[in-house]
Structure 1
Amino acid sequence: MPVTAVTTDPESLTMTLVAEVDAPPARVWRAFTEPSQLERFWGPPGWPATFTTFDFTVGGRAEYAMTSPAGEKARGTWEFLSIDPETGYEVLDSFVGDDGRVDENLPSTRMRYTFEQTASGSRVTNVSHFSSAEALDQIVEMGAVEGSTMAFNQLDQVVADLREYALGKGTRTEILDDVHVRITRLIEGSRDLVWRAHNDPDLMRRWLLGPDGWRMTVCEIDPSVGGRYRYAWAPEEGTEGEEFGFDGETLLSEPPVRAVTTEHMTGTDFPSTTNDLSLYEEDGVTLLTLLIEYPDKETRDMVLATGMTDGMEASYGRLEGVLAA
């Protein structure tokens, strides 16, 4: 994980984040100065950012919104105060309302980014300056330390070549905290095709099967927000197991980039999870990221113990075959 430390200093009224990144400063500079790159990590998992304005000049402004799985928006703006090419820049960071005006009830922060060469790559230092101890405490209580850490820990996959980053790794499962798990898989194929394969019932029946020996018996999808879906699987003759299925509701749909759904095991009183799917395309391949939020640690551990990752890898392998055809 890139983040090595996040510290607060009530005397100097600062919060400092330090991250070590396995990439040269020029590549890290791109990640922090190109909106399409910033959108991949500016915001913790589950709250990705969209930059609607990015005037990277002294006196210019950037405007962004982070969107929760339920569609809630947290909006912010930067005013660029100084820019030192490839070594750092400084902004005035403010919260804004839906009308685009600065929210005077929340503190604005002067933030300085510094990018330094190291023996293994780069060091990113982010120092946030607050106007008072109360403003610092308010931001910390809002979860700034945890949120910044989770956001910046996504830097590795942003600065890496996707093919090299995912080569030979298949489906990867990362436990982020007690209730969040992140699944990633690089898919050979365009984002549009991967999105279609997740929303076209005829295509889904060809790949979303889990381990060999199973068939999909039900695939009903309404991908619109508020729409319902239902999937079911049954074992082929000679395969052990009992028929099972899932149902849920679409909470957010932003084709072909992001879809958020609930997931409930049909016919049980098990609590639902929230599944946040996002797709990012680069050089003809698509990075699929699935962020799963469980109701508690016990449910998380129970699901992981079923061999979920292996079943997903079998399905994603089939998906690549379907896309190639």
Structure 2
Amino acid sequence: MTTLVPVAVSPLRQRLIDEMDIRRFGHGTQRNYLRDVGRFATFLGRSPDTATAEDVRRFQIEQGEMDVPAPTMNAIVSALRFFFTQTLDRPDLARKLVRMRHERKLPVVLSRDEVARLLDATTCLKHQAALSVAYGAGLRASEVASLKVRDIDSERMLLRVERGKGGRYRNAMLPTGLLALLREWWRVGRRERVLHVDGWLFPGQHYLKPLSTRQLHRIVVEASVAAGIGKRVGPHTLRHCFATHLLEDGIDVRIIQTLLGHAKLDTTAYYTQVATRVLRNVTSPFERLATTAAEGKAPKG
């Protein structure tokens, strides 16, 4: 009989994990930070707590020469800044890290008709309910996967998001139609013995484990293909649609910021660039030139 030997965790790695746990970092963030700090350690060839300012400078030069994409490099910078500042108490090294500027691409946004077709193209009620939450409440894929049955507050018509980005808690909206769909899923899930009062709202292959973000991505892609949607979509596309469609309906951008859980208004305001209905309703000053000229030529009484 083979005995599994637990993998030893170095004190430095454990300290990094403890610092992330204290701040309630999500599983995905912790995994990424550990990977990126490990990437720096591999470059050094020794423990990263022995790093110098020159090591940090050489690391960034090498990453640039390897054509590491700017978003990836900035993610590494965030991980190392946390590591140097919180784990090592070396803010002097954190200050040596430079974020790369890059052009942010406009998000892919589906029309309301396309969203409806995508949701209808799902293969089962659980998948339809999960994607409907992503669109109807504007949740991230990780937030959808982390929902539990008790997070549904039907009295106040809210969804409690306990572990949002950065470990922040917030309330998301719960539309009446979405609540009805979730109640239908509850009845079916209970009958199939996969839903429990204290369990995950969207369990994975085993009811004790939640649906993974990778599974959510696969569900969206398969539904978009079945619906005949040619755009490249993922779970986050539905969140983009939520924000853009609210903006087109005239909802104040600060309210949308709160619903999305954005820390900065600039992040939410970016959706004004893809809200086509808002742009169509704006009258260009050019259109008013003719009116102004006509008023100037009108005979004075």
Q: Give the TM-score normalised by structure 2.
A: 0.29
1 or 2, which has the higher strand percentage?
A: 1
Q: Give the TM-score normalised by structure 1.
A: 0.28
- Radius of gyration: which is bigger? 2
